Amino acid sequence: MTPLLMTRGLSRDFGGLRAVDGVDFTLNQGEIRALIGPNGAGKTTFVSLVCGRIAPSAGTIAFNGSDITRLPAHRRVRLGIAYTFQITSIFANLPVYDNVALPVQRTLEDGRGGGAVRAGVMEVLEKVGLADRAATPAGQLAYGHQRLLEMAIGLALKPRLLILDEPTQGLADGEIESFIRLVREIAREATVLIIEHNMKVVMELAGRVTVMEAGKILAEGTPAEIRENQAVQAAYLGTAHG
């Protein structure tokens, strides 16, 4: 089976710093994969390369068997790659509804009217638990709810690959349980790659875990294998929070 996402020798330099260093990474259709590692390990730079926000210094990226290394970000979105940012990126002055309506309109076939847009928006807002806040200006939402809105915007694009960058940051414990259920539901239709520091979330959700350190992949395996890996413990898990 062709991997959904594959990188080979992927690298990115910033001046004299190599933030991502020769990463070979494979992600199969239908996975929930966690990407973990200490701050500065290169995780966000790696997924920024995958979604096209920054260009690689070396290496290749293939999505569903096609080389996308030089494709601009908006073309990757059309292919089915959606990325929610570590720092919330919403239209703060627009209502929650309008934030989601914009990407819904992009996925509808030409000629479908406002009823189809509304149905699509409300379906996504129901999924993330924000349907009752549809009329609220996005900037007035609590931070955790802004993160959920960002997930809704990603979902509205009907992605094949949904990349979540620190999605539980700012969520209360009860909201985290709801988030875990939501990701499991999303994974029925999309592949999920999640950068996460909350190890409870990682161990509950991920089928496999990739650990980065200093721009390289340090280890890969099941949550149980990663928990027992001494190199990972030394680099990260011994000092991880949550």
Residue 87 confidence (pLDDT) above 80: no
The reply to whether 71 and 126 lie within a common domain is no
The residue among 136, 158, 180 that closes a domain is: 158
Instruction: Looking at the structure, tell me whether residues 4 and 19 fall in a common domain.
Output: yes
Evaluate if residue 105 carries a pLDDT over 90: no
Let me know if residue 217 belongs to a domain: yes
**At what angle are helices 173-186 and 114-128 packed, to 10 degrees?**
130
Check residue 238 and give its pLDDT.
57
Task: Count CB atoms within 10 A of the CB of residue 83.
Answer: 26
CB 19, CB 12: distance < 8 Å: yes
Domain that holds residue 86: 81-158
Average pLDDT of every residue of the chain: 90
State how far the Cα of 145 lies from the Cα of 136, in Å rounded to an integer. 11
How large is the average pLDDT for residues 6-12? 98
Q: Are 27 and 5 in contact (CB under 8 A)?
A: yes
